[in-house]
Amino acid sequence: MNRIPMLRQEEHTELYLFSEAIKDRRYFRKIPMKLLLEMLRLSQLVMLSQDEQLVHEGDKDPPEMYILLHGSLMVTSQGEFISRLESPGDVVGEQAILSPEARTMTVTAEVDSRVLAFPNDVFRVAEEMSHIPAIYLSFASILAEKLRITEAQAKLRRNARPQGNATPPCIAIVDIDSRERRVIRGTLSTLWKEMKIVEYASPKEFIETPAERRFDLIILDPLYNHDYHDEQELLEALGESVGLHNCPVFAVSEWCNDESNREKLAQMGIGDFLGRPYSTFDLRHKLSAFKVAYYRQRELEQVEHAADTDRLTNLANRRRMDEFLDALVTLYPEERQPFSLIITDVDNFKHYNDTHGHQMGDVVLASIAAILKRSVRRGDLAARFGGEEFVVLLPKCDKPAALKIAEKLRQAVEEEEIPYQEQQPSGNLTATFGVATYPFDAENVDMLLKRADECLYQGKEAGRNVVIGAEMLQSTAA
């Protein structure tokens, strides 16, 4: 890779173009232009060719922080896709600056790309200095903000994976060629004894699979077939479908032999490729890497899950809910994706508890929790809020979709067979739901919870067993 020191480029016209490209991005918008130019002069311009690695996992080279100027970078760790940088001003490498041991990730250029590299020493202040330079404070601010975003993304990714040991991993194989599906299935069977395989004879069949089915790995051949008008329509439908599963996607196809096709797949979020024809070793090696990464991640998550889980309901506890909410708010300025919050309360729960005792009350709470857990999408978070109240957090979910999900939950509770439900005042055990969406109904977490709770209260006043959205409060107030 080629490197050009910016310090020697006092009159470098590109330096001004670089600053213009990133000055309005999240990490730089508060930095004066003059100071931003001084910061950029401390960097090196790095030019990467397609598929060239900027950082390699395990390297012990001096750490650097990188700012993307042009192109697309894919970040992976232990064979698993982590994130993609594709907008000018995106930052990567901040964790290595703070913890300069061996690198824990690989950063690869998906297309010809340009980045600015900042060495570790620009983040240090000499002990003998009597004041902290403005440049250092600006770099420290960038590091702090990037770490907040990285931690928030990690929380959302962790929540998207299944918890516990009860269910073996589920793997989808999508290929129109039954012989190829048989080869992949056979290789998986020799490597991965405890698993479930679901086969799809076409991309269309996979795309039409209900979103409730959850996969831990998707292996697909995106080769175009006549179920779609053209290749672009197929890729768009596939991209939307695989995105719902929040899991690694592995493309195995003759189509992957072409670099431009691999670029299209990478933009869809597909993290690894294997062209056909391939050797048995290459297929086994790729699948083995997925297996190792899967179980390593599960072990870490099981420890974290125990600390973040309500024992009675096996849902997230209040601490994890608060952290998840903070992560969603942190990521909103970058992703501009609304998210919704549903709060629900068991109707007349005190009457049930007083009549049948606390043990039966616990049965009710566990039953409601099970309904929430099996009914939400992968990546959503169901939590016990306190007492008989529960909260469901829905990332990337607008108000109409959230209201539909809440109504689905309401019906599920109403239809659930619960002991002694006929003795409730309404003749059945039900729940009331309040729904609010960020940022349209609230500008911060506290207000979002308050708005959803107001909806819940109005639902109770309206007779219980209903779903109320924040816009209904607004219309009522008017």
Cα dist from 478 to 168, 196, 228, 471, whole Å: 52, 54, 48, 11
The two three-digit tokens of residue 224, written as one number: 């175009």
Confirm whether 334 is domain-assigned.
Answer: yes
Both 36 and 125 in one domain: the answer is yes
Confirm whether 363 is domain-assigned.
Answer: yes
Both 116 and 176 in one domain: the answer is no
Q: Considering only residues 4 and 7, tell me which one the structure prediction assigns the higher pLDDT.
A: 4
Both 313 and 293 in one domain: the answer is no
Name the average pLDDT for the chain: 86
Confirm whether 165 is domain-assigned.
Answer: no
Both 294 and 314 in one domain: the answer is no
Both 87 and 25 in one domain: the answer is yes
Both 336 and 445 in one domain: the answer is yes
Confirm whether 164 is domain-assigned.
Answer: no
Q: How far apart are CA 276 and CA 444, in angstroms?
A: 50
Residues 66, 43 contacting (CB under 8 angstroms): no
Answer with the one of 159, 181, 205 that is the final residue of a domain. Answer: 159
For residue 137, give the CATH number of its domain.
2.60.120.10
Q: Over 70: is that where the pLDDT of 188 sits?
A: yes
User: Most confidently modeled of 92-96, 160-164, 250-254?
Assistant: 250-254
| pTM, entire model | 0.59
Q: Over 60: is that where the pLDDT of 165 sits?
A: no
Average pLDDT of the residues in 27-42? 89
Q: How confident is the model at residue 476 (pLDDT cuts 50, 70, 90)?
A: very low
Confirm whether 237 is domain-assigned.
Answer: yes
Q: Over 80: is that where the pLDDT of 475 sits?
A: no
State the sign of the Cα–Cα–Cα–Cα dihedral 202, 203, 207, 210. Answer: positive
Both 288 and 342 in one domain: the answer is no
Q: How far apart are CA 157 and CA 247, in angstroms?
A: 9
Both 299 and 318 in one domain: the answer is no
For residue 327, give the CATH number of its domain.
3.30.70.270
Both 215 and 107 in one domain: the answer is no
Both 250 and 174 in one domain: the answer is yes
The two three-digit tokens of residue 120, written as one number: 């570790």
Both 132 and 91 in one domain: the answer is yes
| Contacts of 89 by beta carbon, 8 Å cutoff, 6+ apart | 21, 22, 24, 25, 26, 27, 28, 67, 68
Q: How confident is the model at residue 478 (pLDDT cuts 50, 70, 90)?
A: very low
For residue 255, give the CATH number of its domain.
3.40.50.2300
* Domain that residue 264 falls in: 170-304
Answer with the one of 283, 304, 325 that is the final residue of a domain. Answer: 304
Q: For a pLDDT cut of 70, what percent of the chain falls above it? A: 92
Confirm whether 274 is domain-assigned.
Answer: yes
User: Residue 293's closest CA among 193, 192, 204?
Assistant: 192
Distance between the two ends of the chain, CA-based, in angstroms?
63
Residues 44, 6 contacting (CB under 8 angstroms): yes
Whole-number pLDDT of residue 477: 44
Weakest mean pLDDT among 16-20, 116-120, 148-152:
148-152
Q: How confident is the model at residue 10 (pLDDT cuts 50, 70, 90)?
A: low
Per DSSP, 63 falls in state: P
Answer with the one of 255, 274, 304 that is the final residue of a domain. Answer: 304
Whole-number pLDDT of residue 9: 53
Weakest mean pLDDT among 17-21, 38-42, 55-59:
55-59
What does the pLDDT look like over 296-306, one tens digit per residue? Answer: 888 877 777 77
The two three-digit tokens of residue 172, written as one number: 């989808």
Confirm whether 354 is domain-assigned.
Answer: yes
With DSSP H G I counted as helix, E B as strand and the rest as coil, what are the percentages for the chain, rounded to 5? 45, 20, 35
Q: Over 70: is that where the pLDDT of 352 sits?
A: yes
What does the pLDDT look like over 393-452, one tens digit per residue? Answer: 999 899 999 999 999 999 999 999 999 999 999 999 999 999 999 999 998 999 999 999
**Bridge partners (DSSP) listed for residue 252:** 274
The two three-digit tokens of residue 354, written as one number: 């007083």
Confirm whether 189 is domain-assigned.
Answer: yes
Q: Count up the domains in the chain and report the number.
A: 3
Neighbour count for residue 283 (Cβ, 10 Å): 20
Both 100 and 120 in one domain: the answer is yes
User: Most confidently modeled of 76-80, 117-121, 132-136, 138-142?
Assistant: 117-121
Residues 198, 171 contacting (CB under 8 angstroms): yes
Average pLDDT of the residues in 108-135? 80
